[in-house]
Structure 1
């Protein structure tokens, strides 16, 4: 039976789960291509070899091999490893010793760190424009609406209804809240109203600006929150979501219930 060195054991133990998630992710990545495919291609029956080549292409693309610095020149060596794995061939003692050694681990770690640095640089560049736009948005907001207040952290907010002063939450409490979240251009990224039911959050388990903002009203109150990126998702929001790096977020919140922590 094929055995794995200890550094790969977490991947081996989750292999079947990851296979499912990877396949689903790969199909999701392929689905947009259906929108641009030539209708005439529907009558063409691809060969098994063509389908396997396409699967190999999108597998490598989905795994981000190029982002880790691998090139076409590396393909023969990578393919030899894939061939051995598909044959369930036992790795040689030399290979086992190599992958557990410092040289191999440095080889992988350097590529991962380089990819992370490149991604961070791209995120920071994308964030710069959004941060500036958010600052301008809040400056205009304050100039136009005297009801907008600010905290020392940089959060801006406007109390619409103050709610019950005897039932104001602290950061240790859990709240039941209805909310809608948008970017400053009005693009909605989340809404409990659309789901038809309020959400329950521990205030110390959400982004800092959201938690701090809800401490400004009591149960039954309503508030508008203007959360700069450093109090929201920063330069690294969830990949593929509507929130972009550096986005200032706008929340309309209705505090329904406060449960002491």
Structure 2
């Protein structure tokens, strides 16, 4: 493994296997509750992949019993949030981390098991995919603790499942399970258990890695464009006119077609 993929904090672990960089949230005794240095670490690790063609997929997972219970509330108790905002100590690292996930040339997979609440759900929603298990618990508990979203929940959740269902989840703080998350469009697939989830992630990651990284970068950029509110004519024009010189393997791949 290259030294650049060693995390500066013990709260994150890294592993590389077959072009897949796995970032593991590593606070299992605290259900991987998020701290600012974890968000900085995620951003730094993903930024390092931008010019590394040996990495084609990034997976974010949690150690132990859960993906993540969300923001570490003990840290919040020392921040004194104002008007429901948790403040720059968390918000600045989160903004930079989520932007890096969205703009990464690599697809980013949220591999979610056990629990995924609030800030962790916001992180997962910024990823390209959410794969989970049928019994994983998802929830938005901002309102339960007198907080308001500042990491994108009001936008990404409503885009994923529609405004009415998003309002229901946020206003009620209701917990849903992985199988329901798939039904409403929050998650891509839900496997029966963690072992099956591991196998699915390996399969999906391998399928992605076998395709053109340049083409996938273009697709990711263009799918992000679809979420900017452009009208269909303007968006189609942009799709046609944007250039992706990173796609250099077209002829080689076509020559392999039999």
Normalised TM-score (structure 1): 0.21
Normalised TM-score (structure 2): 0.21
- Structure showing the higher helix proportion among its residues: 1
